[in-house]
Amino acid sequence: MAVIVMGGTLQGVDALPIRVEVDLIRRLPRVSIVGLAAGAVKEAAERVRSALASSELEWPRKRIVVNLAPADVRKEGTAFDLPIALGILAADEQVPPSSIDGVIAVGELGLGGDLRPVRGALSLGLMARELDCDLILPADSASQAALVPDTRVFSARTLAEVVGHLQGGAALPRAVRLHTTAPAFDVDLADVRGQLLARRALEIAAAGAHHLLMVGPPGCGKSMLARRLPTILPTLAFEEALDCTRVHGAAGLLGQDPRLLDRRPFRAPHHSVSAAGLVGGRDLRPGEVSLAHHGVLFLDEATEFQRTVLEHLREPLEDGTVRITRADGSVEYPAALTLVMAANPCPCGHHGSNNRCICTDTIINRYRRKLSGPILDRVDLHIPLRPVPSEVLLSGQPGESSKSVRARVEAARALQLDRQGVPNGRLGAPDIERVAQQTDAARALLFEAVTAHTLSGRAAHRLLKVARTIADLERCEQVQPRHVAEALAFRPMEGL
């Protein structure tokens, strides 16, 4: 009679329960693993055989049939070793079959019977909580799964420990959640001298999760400003930290660290990144846009990125998700990020500055067209930067600190979450019309701006979102003309 052990596999950032069905048949000894199993899964038979022998457990002298259900889902990786081993032992009655009811087991087995860590432990914890099951994981992964509240996660170092636990012997220890505090930032917005317009734009971007483009010559502080944006973003809420940690765990970036991510991600890929690296590759793992979920994606020298690569940002910027479709399947990853782009005004970098520009108009136009209209239309705040005068740089007068700016940002973000559940920058078109109630004068100014500058519908709605955020920073219930006017100052009318 076949027995069933519950396992799990990652599908995107979510864990999918897999039934590992094992049956022993009185035929010539052999192992058959079916159910759309990849090569690493089929190799589990040899690892399990050696692990059982090293743990002084018997290998049945029968034909072993292992079915991984649902059979239409591709199974990859080595995390099925443990459930296959337990299924074989339960089918051979070396372990009571009833002991595996309500248990999810995931782990890779070494030849000596030791359990090795698996990818996506946090997602497995969420799945176990949803199914109301006990979860048995390798010791190096269990603490990550225990970060999920109301889960029963057991930590094991060897196959023998798991078998003893199921046989009623020494119980496995419960994994515990580690509490950590976020370390202080090593940079501060007070480091920035001058650039008052850019500082204001950063505050608005942080308060409403708005996308940002900075254009200016080399050395004017574009990268410095971008790297200080995380210091004024609201502190990660627990559920947001779970989401970020789950994505990084699915990408295999957490290693054996059992802690939640305590800061909003800041991802800064090089301009040579491929489309697969940006949105996700052939192996369906998350790319940079998903790793920046709830954080910042910084594209320095944005015009040096391949245009075809940048076009892949359209869906994430509009919907907050990215769908990857490959021959192996299709997955959807979260990508609710704040995009920050920095660019020079021309190839030599000196157009519009005090230094002599050597670029012709044709070269400048070709250079600017590397950022397409649809991408620029999705960016809410456009800031031209100029070099800071030396007397301002050397004055020694620091700007306002990140701590004080973050207090205003968090207050404005709290208003938005209470009012509509998401930041203003992620509102849909119907919602922004309802949320951003304007005075008659503000509505007239907005209509005049849209008509005079022939703004697209998307640009008009983004303009209104920025105005709503500015009003939230001032705690105004209605959008006033001054809010629309300031939002207009951050809209490009030509070029970059």
- Find out whether 468 and 429 touch, Cβ atoms under 8 Å: no
Question: What is the CATH T-level fold of the domain 427-496, as seen in this structure?
Answer: Helicase, Ruva Protein; domain 3 (1.10.8)
How does pLDDT run across 298-328, given as a tens digit for each residue?
A: 999 999 999 999 999 998 998 899 988 776 6
pLDDT tops 70 at residue 260: yes
pLDDT class of 95 with cuts at 50, 70, 90: very high
Mean pLDDT of the chain: 90
- Residues in contact with 134: Cβ distance below 8 Å, sequence separation at least 6, in sequence order: 102, 103, 104, 128, 152, 153, 154
Instruction: Compute the average pLDDT of residues 331-356.
Output: 89
- Find out whether 38 and 70 touch, Cβ atoms under 8 Å: no
CA distances from 174 to 177, 244, 450 (A): 10, 24, 60
Instruction: Compute the average pLDDT of residues 19-35.
Output: 94
Instruction: Tell whether domain 3-166 is in CATH 3.40.50.620.
Output: no
pLDDT class of 496 with cuts at 50, 70, 90: very low
Question: What are the backbone angles phi and psi of residue 313, rounded to the nearest 5°?
Answer: -80, -10
Query: The tokens of 29 are what?
Result: 């000894």
Top-ranked range on mean pLDDT: pick from 255-264, 274-283, 421-430: 421-430
pLDDT tops 70 at residue 257: no
pLDDT class of 495 with cuts at 50, 70, 90: very low
Query: The tokens of 461 are what?
Result: 């709605």
How does pLDDT run across 140-151, given as a tens digit for each residue?
A: 999 889 999 999
pLDDT tops 80 at residue 11: yes
- Find out whether 478 and 440 touch, Cβ atoms under 8 Å: no
CA dihedral 269, 12, 260, 410 (to 10 degrees): 70
Question: What are the backbone angles phi and psi of residue 341, rounded to the nearest 5°?
Answer: -115, 145
Dump the DSSP string for 394-455.
Answer: TS------HHHHHHHHHHHHHHHHHHHSS-GGG--HHHHHHHS-B-HHHHHHHHHHHHHTT-
pLDDT tops 50 at residue 34: yes
d(CA 156, CA 393): 57
pLDDT tops 50 at residue 206: yes
Per-residue model confidence (pLDDT) at position 460? 87
How many C-beta neighbours within 10 Å does residue 394 have? 10
Dump the DSSP string for 279-341.
Answer: HB-TT--B-HHHHTTTSEEEETTGGGS-HHHHGGGHHHHHHSEEEEEETTEEEEEE---EEEE
How does pLDDT run across 213-241, given as a tens digit for each residue?
A: 999 998 888 999 999 999 999 999 989 99
Using only C-alpha atoms, the chain has a radius of gyration, in whole angstroms, of 27
pLDDT class of 492 with cuts at 50, 70, 90: confident
d(CA 479, CA 467): 7
Question: What is the CATH T-level fold of the domain 189-403, as seen in this structure?
Answer: Rossmann fold (3.40.50)
How does pLDDT run across 462-478, given as a tens digit for each residue?
A: 899 999 999 999 999 99
Domain borders along the chain are 3-166, 189-403, 427-496
pLDDT class of 183 with cuts at 50, 70, 90: low
Per-residue model confidence (pLDDT) at position 280? 84
